[in-house]
Chain A
Amino acid sequence: EDQVTQSPEALRLQEGESSSLNCSYTVSGLRGLFWYRQDPGKGPEFLFTLYSAGEEKEKERLKATLTKKESFLHITAPKPEDSATYLCAAGGYGGSQGNLIFGKGTKLSVKP
């Protein structure tokens, strides 16, 4: 069964304290691995798509990496405005485009 598991469920960091969020996935042929940011009461905001093992993408303080079994979202020197829930989703060739399997998310809090 296709599955996405994110850890930790919650993460508290001090401003400037770098860390990583984990996303483990099991899908039948990976079509794409997506990272989204979600603020309270808002919809998911797209961050990255990764397609193959070894791929890396960066945006400001965020860097996403992908292996055959998991993806990491590295946060370097986070700021309070990085506080949000980060969602990982995997799309497999067993389903149609957009038939994404979401994890439950990691709630990140960055304290000044």
Chain B
Amino acid sequence: EAGVTQFPSHSVIEKGQTVTLRCDPISGHDNLYWYRRVMGKEIKFLLHFVKESKQDESGMPNNRFLAERTGGTYSTLKVQPAELEDSGVYFCASSQGSSGNTIYFGEGSWLTVV
């Protein structure tokens, strides 16, 4: 069974440009999460989808970040316009069912804004 897959694995963009990260969760997982880790910091929660609905977006840093999950399958996270402080690794994760179930992570998308 395929795990959580993320694209691209690495991206280098200039400040002010737009980047879109994609995540394909494990098949059948209704819950999809985005996290990120910036240099030297711990992993932080960004948001949680249940199917196509945003359950919790309390961790989204500002309105330059837009997450979507059309049809309740894959998800995209767009950063527009990107700033230097957005550099880091963005993790997508998914889980099945309700509270307490195992959350499986993808390999991450490494973003560098120059």
- A contact residues vs B (CB 8 Å cutoff): 4, 31-32, 34, 36, 41-46, 49, 51, 87, 89, 95-105
Contact = CB atoms under 8 A, between A and B. Distances in A.
B44 A46 contact: no
A98 B105 contact: no
Interface in B63-114: 91, 93, 95, 98-108
B48 A102 contact: no
Contacts of B42: 4, 102-105
Nearest to A36: B105
Given A42-B107, A44-B91, A98 B45 contact: yes
Interface of B: 4, 31, 33, 35, 41-45, 48, 55-56, 58-59, 91, 93, 95, 98-108
A21 B93 CA distance: 25
Contacts of A102: 42-44
